[in-house]
Amino acid sequence: MQLVVGRIGRAHGIKGDVTVEVRTDEPELRLGPGAVLATDPASTGPLTIESGRVHSGRLLLRFAGVGDRTAAEALRNTLLIAEVDPEELPEDEDEFYDHQLMDLDVVTTDGIEVGRITEISHLPSQDLFIVERPDGTEVMIPFVEEIVTEIDLEEQKAVIDPPPGLIDDRAEIASSRDAEPDEGASA
């Protein structure tokens, strides 16, 4: 099974290094020297990692055969894909691979059916579940501990405790316009 583990950013320096947006919780395992990665688009790969280092908080990689800035810049926006055994699980029990979460039923803590996970969106600040509701509409659920209270792979469900307004229209909106005007205040 294939997992996206990174996306190549812009070239760094003149020797072929590139910045990489890491999309794995195990970069030392997936993005280490010697790793051979498939790519999307496939025409740019496979790529073999020659070396890597962290510079100013960003991962920099150099690939075999990419020796200058022009060649490195040509790789920009390429997805890096690792081949992973489908039975392999993350080391931390609170971590999951995307394929484990896809198609899970999403229910609230009080048992109300919300829908089914159809996509996982990886954003810089957090991951989002894209959930298809029974009526065909979609809702986005932040994959954070405060909202997603349980992932039960045996039961094939994700249990959520959504704040008001996340999956329904019961949001409590407080507006200064709704407040009573102060005595003596002019409009």
pLDDT at position 89, please? 66
Kindly tell me if the per-residue pLDDT of 94 is higher than 80. Answer: no
Find out whether 23 and 122 touch, Cβ atoms under 8 Å.
yes
**Mean pLDDT in residue range 72-79:** 92
Q: Per DSSP, what are the bridge partners of residue 83?
A: 2
What's the whole-number mean pLDDT along residues 158-165?
A: 89
Handedness of CA 64, 67, 70, 76 (dihedral sign): positive
Determine the pLDDT at residue 87.
67
The residue-averaged pLDDT of 160-166 equals 87
Tell me the two tokens of residue 131: 């959930």
Residue percentage of the chain with pLDDT more than 90: 37
Taking Cα atoms as reference points, which of 25, 26, 49, 28 lies closest to residue 8?
Answer: 49
Could you report the per-residue pLDDT of 57-69, keeping only the tens digit for each? Answer: 888 999 999 989 9
**What 3-state DSSP class applies to 96?**
coil
Task: Pinpoint the alpha helices (H) of the chain.
Answer: 27-30, 69-73, 98-101
Strand order of the β-sheet with 113-122 is 138-142, 127-132, 113-122, 105-108, 157-160, 148-152
What is residue 1's predicted lDDT score, i.e. its pLDDT?
Answer: 73
High-pLDDT (> 70) share of the chain, %: 84
Element (H, E) at 147: none
pLDDT at residue 155 above 80? yes
